[in-house]
Amino acid sequence: MADAGPAHLILAVETSCDDTCAAVVTAGGEIRSNVVASQGLLHERYGGVVPEVASRRHLEVTGPVVADALERAGVELAGVDLVAATRRPGLIGALLVGLSTAKALAAAWELPFTPVDHLHGHVVASTLGERPIEAPYLCLVASGGHTFVARVDHPASYAVLGRTLDDSAGEAFDKGARLLGLGYPGGPAIDALAAEGDPGAFDFPRSRPGAELDFSFSGLKTALLYTVRDIGEDEVRERAADLAASYQRAIADVLCLRLREAVERERVDRVAVGGGVAANSELRARVGRLGEELGCEVWIPGLALCTDNAAMIAAAARFLEPMHYPTYLDLDASARAVEPVAKGA
């Protein structure tokens, strides 16, 4: 049970990028509803997320998505005890829609409100459900915008042990997929294609920058670019599955290597993964095996809790101090990521 104060039912809204999300979660971490309206198809033709298009779609669907989440949970707004929303980081226009909507809903009922950092949501996604992880634990977060390994001593915060110095793992997937002529988002496309390929067919670099637990994926992306140029269009088409499998193997290798080093260094025997890349089938299997090998208990959330969702935002809100009406009314969204100050270390 979380130390969440009096709030029993939490309504959370998340619109930091291209998914419009709302969820109802109990203070004990039970997910009553978790609705995601994906804009994937809308952005596919541009090969990436177009910020203005994303904001406009959020404006259209945030209301209905919130209504849907409440209905699926079998509650009305009057029955909600706390409202939460993603405040940062992300696309500023997209964030503003969800944050403003959530603040307005809270204000209309004079409810408390909790602003949440999106990355904190990914870190604590495994605290939800029937087998909640308990601190201390290590969490590998690999998403479209960020990649880091964190130590969680109390779920109100986390300490980053190592992070990517350039591209995120999700960007590596998305940029790699573009080089292979696959659609957007690239992660699921590479994941599916890799299942038919030989992961040992191409030898891609595994970068380990510096002595810390940092990551770097830009060299890997460049290596794929050169390989694609060298072998030519026809061979790329013929061997796309081998390229995808080898590229995916390189990303999973680096992520698992750093996770292993973090476990060995921190001597923490509980490990979780989060973020969209944690939906990757190879990474999921490999992290499971790593746990067995190192004698760690592993939490790999269901796919809906890895990719962007509002249940994880509610999860984080359970551990934070809420703001009371009307102090949150002039709270602003912020595009930038802010490193947390770890508590309870």
Q: Which residues bind ligand KG4 (CB under 6 A)?
A: 17, 143-145, 170, 173-174, 185-188, 191, 275-277, 279-280, 307-308
**Least Cβ distance, residue 122 to Zn ion (angstroms):** 6
Nearest to Zn ion by Cβ — which residue? 143
* 99-107, 164-172, 263-271, 303-311 -> range binding Zn ion (CB under 5 A): 303-311
Answer for which of 86, 143, 147, 164 binds Zn ion (CB under 5 A) is 143
Contact (CB, 8 A) for 165 and 217: no
Nearer to ligand KG4, 158 or 173 (CB): 173
Nearer to ligand KG4, 108 or 192 (CB): 192
Q: Which does 167 bind (CB under 5 to 8 A by kind): ligand KG4, Zn ion, none?
A: none
Answer for which of 9, 161, 308, 314 binds Zn ion (CB under 5 A) is 308
Task: Retrieve residue 91's tokens.
Answer: 């696309």
> Does 14 contact Zn ion by CB under 5 A?
no
Nearer to ligand KG4, 216 or 307 (CB): 307
* 75-83, 124-132, 171-179, 300-308 -> range binding Zn ion (CB under 5 A): 300-308
Q: Which does 185 bind (CB under 5 to 8 A by kind): Zn ion, ligand KG4, none?
A: ligand KG4
**Least Cβ distance, residue 173 to ligand KG4 (angstroms):** 4
Nearer to ligand KG4, 112 or 199 (CB): 199
**Least Cβ distance, residue 207 to ligand KG4 (angstroms):** 18
**Least Cβ distance, residue 175 to ligand KG4 (angstroms):** 9
Calculate the CA dihedral of residues 232, 234, 235, 240 and round it to 10 degrees: 110
Buried b / exposed e across 60-77, counting CB within 10 Å, b at 16+?
ebbeebbeebbeebebee
How many residues in total does the chain contain?
Answer: 345
**Least Cβ distance, residue 188 to ligand KG4 (angstroms):** 5
**Least Cβ distance, residue 171 to ligand KG4 (angstroms):** 6
Q: Which does 94 bind (CB under 5 to 8 A by kind): Zn ion, ligand KG4, none?
A: none
Q: Which does 299 bind (CB under 5 to 8 A by kind): Zn ion, ligand KG4, none?
A: none
Task: Retrieve residue 190's tokens.
Answer: 């590479």
**Least Cβ distance, residue 69 to ligand KG4 (angstroms):** 18
d(CA 272, CA 270): 7
Q: Say how many residues touch Zn ion, by CB under 5 A.
A: 2
**Least Cβ distance, residue 155 to ligand KG4 (angstroms):** 18
Nearer to ligand KG4, 9 or 243 (CB): 243
Nearer to ligand KG4, 162 or 188 (CB): 188
Nearer to ligand KG4, 115 or 170 (CB): 170
Task: Retrieve residue 68's tokens.
Answer: 């849907």
Decide the pairing of beta strands 19-26 and 31-38. antiparallel
- Which residues lie near Zn ion (CB under 5 A)? 143, 308
